[in-house]
Structure 1
Amino acid sequence: MVGQVLDGRYRVDARIAVGGMATVYRALDTRLDRVLALKVMHPALAVDGAFVERFIREAKSVARLAHPNVVQVFDQGTDGSYVYLAMEYVAGCTLRDVLRDRGALQPRAALDILEPVLAALGAAHRAGFVHRDMKPENVLIGDDGRVKVADFGLVRSVDTVTSTTGAVLGTVSYLAPEQIEQPGTADARVDVYACGVVLYEMLTGEKPHDGDSPAVVLYKHLHEDVPPPSAVVPGLAYELDELVASATARSPQIRPYDAVALLAQARETRAGLSPDQLDAMPPQALSAQHSNSDDRTSVIPRSLNIQRPLPVNGDEPQADFNRTSRLQTPPPPPPSHRPRTSRRPRGPMMIVAAVLLVLGLGVGVWYINSGQFTQVPPLLSKTEAQARDRLEDAGLDVGKVERAYSDTVKRGTVISTDPGTGARIRHNDSVKLVISQGPETVKVPDIEGYPLAKARTELKESGLQPGMVKREFNDDVTRGSVLSADPGTGTEVRSGSAITLIVSKGSPVDVPDVTGEDPADARAELEEAGLKVKIASARVNSEFDAGQVAQQSLTEGKQAAEGDTVTLTLSKGPEMIEVPDVVGDSVDDAKSQLEAAGFEVDEDRGLLGLFGDTVKKQSVEGGETAPKGSTITITIR
């Protein structure tokens, strides 16, 4: 779909991700000139009316959920076979990307991500929504550090990845037991359970339950508790174990009742942790951050009581590794007549030599692996001068500098680097910079007087998009030709912007009233005025005789453009309705009954009925039929 314009408004620029239910694209709203994410349902699912109806209904509900940590829904629509959502575009990455790149996170970082997620879910829970599919893929982390939850309340396509049964929604690694046992009855506590699993994964770098198939994972969710994170990462505070255990209790009655309650527990847990506990570095993070070989070695936990293997005969255990071996003194040599030469003890010298050798090897390995390398510092969104300073501080040179247009990156700041941020690079190597020139601008071409089709082609060739069409009467410009553009000719606008076209409707024409006429006469009169005529297939009851013109789409007094079409609806004749019998009734009651039936009422009092109040006669007897709207005369005596 890249390059297409959906609904005449959303230009698809790039594909971001593909899921089981939809594909997500980066797109430009050509009407408001802003970048957004466009989620387009797979056409195979769009034929399911019930699925589409729920998709739209829940999208409308989420659009009303205004929260800073929720990915907002701006618009929903259809274009042919495409059903789409227009959503907030978050430039950054997902929590899954972070876990894949970094593994386990520090407790402080894990809580910094968990708390805004729970705040978003809490707002949804209090508004009556349940997410049902919380997982790291649905947690977005923007380049500015903001955390947002995506895919609120939207139904998932059920397949082998998301579940094992058509009644279960969600991803198997994060399903609560009750979602498996009682599909369709999930409440806010299923999101609490999934958040507990996500927290475990952030603290340990791995999922609590794994298996060779989804069925194995589902079985473990039902029959095994989530283990404490400290079992995988020794040294984690027990308060974090308790927080995970509370959120992932297999019985929903034991869990916090919604995300708001879990958020309160998470904040209480944070308050009870010391700075050292919050900043405890996971083992793989420590080894990745330190280049000193001694530091790397010290990270590996060493046992203080590791036994040597038993000898082959298995009779006696050898001495422990942690005990210092003592050099056994050999028996004194037999007496010799040669003179003895004094020897200096060699033990300390050998130890010093061994230490120097190890240090030399360590330094050599460090230099080969790390000493001659550095990492490309983060430069995105920095000015060119700031980027140069950062590269210089990192011991790197600025390589080729290119400039490119960008709709999203501020003019004069870095769009990208080669190698990218965090890449391993030798000292004094160069880094290529791509600097934003801001959005590409083009001038609106002169299309006044062009036929509409040609004007649209000219705009597209100029890098612009034809936008809304407005039509106005004009005596000088031919019908269907462009009067002007908005913005006007020569105005500089962003490439891809939508241009409004004002198109001539030609000279105005006065529309004659042809109701009550025969169709042939009505057609001739309208065509003589420069209008086209169409006869509607359906007919209506009216005051006019059957076959005469009962209604016209453009009425007398309104102006139309020459060549416009007037649709004529013919009459079936008046509607015949039964007349109520009002003889003997009072005048007021008689009038009320007749008018309620759809008749006009005329009173005939004569000289004798000036002071009377009783109906003695009616022009159409009760029980007979008369045209609706006709007049019934009542005689009063």
Structure 2
Amino acid sequence: MDTQVADTLLGSLLDGRYRIRGRVARGGMATVYTATDERLERTVAVKIIHPTQAPQARARMAGFVERFTDEAKTIARLTHPNVVAVYDQGIHAGLPYLVMEYVRGRTLRDVLAERRRLDPDEALAITEQMLAAIAAAHRAGLVHRDVKPENVLVAEAPAGGSGNLVDSVVKVADFGLARAVEASAEEENGNQLMATVAYVAPELVTQGHADPRTDVYSAGIVLFEMLTGRVPYDGDRPVEVAWQHVDRDVPAPSTLVPALPPVLDALVARATRRDPAARPADAGAMLTQVQAVRDELGDPHAHTAVLRQISDDTAVLSQPTQVVAAVRPAERPAWARLPEGGGGQRPHRRRAEEPEGLGARLAALRTRVMGSPRGRLAVAAAVVVLGLVAAIGGWWFGVGRYTVAPQLVSMTKAEAEAQAQRGGFTLRYADPRYDEKVPKDTVLGQAPGSAARIVKGGTITLTLSLGPERLPVPDVVGKDYDLAQTELSGAKLVPAKGASRYDDALPAGVVLATDPKVGTVVKPGSKVTLILSKGRAPVTVPNLVGKNINEARGILAKLGLTPEETPKDSDKPKDEILGQSPADGTGVEKGAKVKLEISKGPPQVAVPRVIDMPCQQAKQTLESQGFPVNVQLNPNGIARLQNPAENTPVPPGTTVTVTCL
């Protein structure tokens, strides 16, 4: 069983300057903390790469850090009011980190979780600022690659605000971070998808290629979610969601929220075309279109109304179902205004006129052809040729061009490709599936099936096996039980509550450890036991070291604790406590045992016999063996008594009294 405790970075000092104060959020690649810049006395945000991202690149760490540093320098030069500023970068415990502007606000994801969906004027205002930031990055040669609500921060307007998000300040974060990690992942594992599947552009799924139009697509999906309260696609597995972006067009937002104006449907459709060439060229071009839509919806005469039919078939105007607040261009920030331009209408394309006398000329041509024997013979020959062509074409398209599909199921991918090549067929691959019995890269199914009719040289779609599905146990240590339970259920695992125990660091109800431990690969449906914290124990162990055993027994008895004593050789005085376990300050339950190491005292020595010796000789004998001597009566007499008696074991340095007569 593996035991994991709270975040060890809390309280750490990075680079002798940034004191970590608290954890803000944890993402797929990095964790964000608040920190105090002790040199400039300001609050900053520190984003540090997960240990799970950097270790794969440890063998190539120099290249990874170099790429991360180059990206940080590029982002730091990206100055824009809607971009989260980067102040510094460094490495702590082998993990690269960025020091960024701390934005007091919430992520767009938090806003959507609270509001579900936004009014069109709020959604367009946020999209406008978001695109302004991304456009600045595109002009600098940067592609964000991971535009999503989690990377959009919504802060209160500098002059305060009424709570309407139109007045909020929007900032975009994480420029370049995905690119640096992605470059290292490609060196290790080949081309990997480093974007969030709910917002991923089709070309990233099929080709792994990203350019400014990729960010335009993701921004269009974010606008769709703000307008409707959901993303366009969902599925049981991320790969299913990703391929829906490739195979399907994004639905119009008004199919989910009927009151939305058609101009918003058109805007989302332009941004989310599956063909990158059909989208706006970059975020700047998309920004211009968003501003144009805001101006159009800002017209006080532009509103949506609904006609309802009453019993006497008279159509009357109902209450407006959607009115979009007017936002005049002059009220926008300088960076968000449309360029001033003349009005004027576009010239109308003139319709081509039909040539005069065309019907008359066709009639004259028919008379000339059919009026001569040669003309009639040519027409007959043409009819015969066309008949033969039709017959041969009918045979070809009905029978001749078809053959039967080969049997490819149960073959490996390489065997199926070789068989298809021999038959002149083209292969296409559908989404692979997990299978407990069929090995990975073995054909599970084909369409059309074996022996089915197929065009010669046609395409056969294969479904490959991914092999048995296995899942890593997610990291839920440090999370509340309900959140951990939800995360495990979402990962197709079965959460179970195990035994709880006291912990001095984590509050009650927080996960201390999992069984199996985090990262263990298990089958879907496997049970994961959660060990929870009971909080700090009710009794604090006192400091007993140096006290006498009798005193310690009394202290422990008052606290309801039980001593467990172990004698130990020591130069310390007898019955003095040398050590304890648990240490002082530890929380324990009543009745718990406290182990005590007790000194047995210094090793004892035997007192030599000095009876019947001259008093001075007796004194010299005792002092030579380390015993202090106390002479009584006649110092010049003969020793008649000694105390302690001869051969008595006593601690070194014990005083011996000698009586001389």
* Structure with more contact order per residue of length (Cα contacts < 8 Å, sep ≥ 6): 2
The TM-score, its normalising length taken from structure 2, stands at 0.40
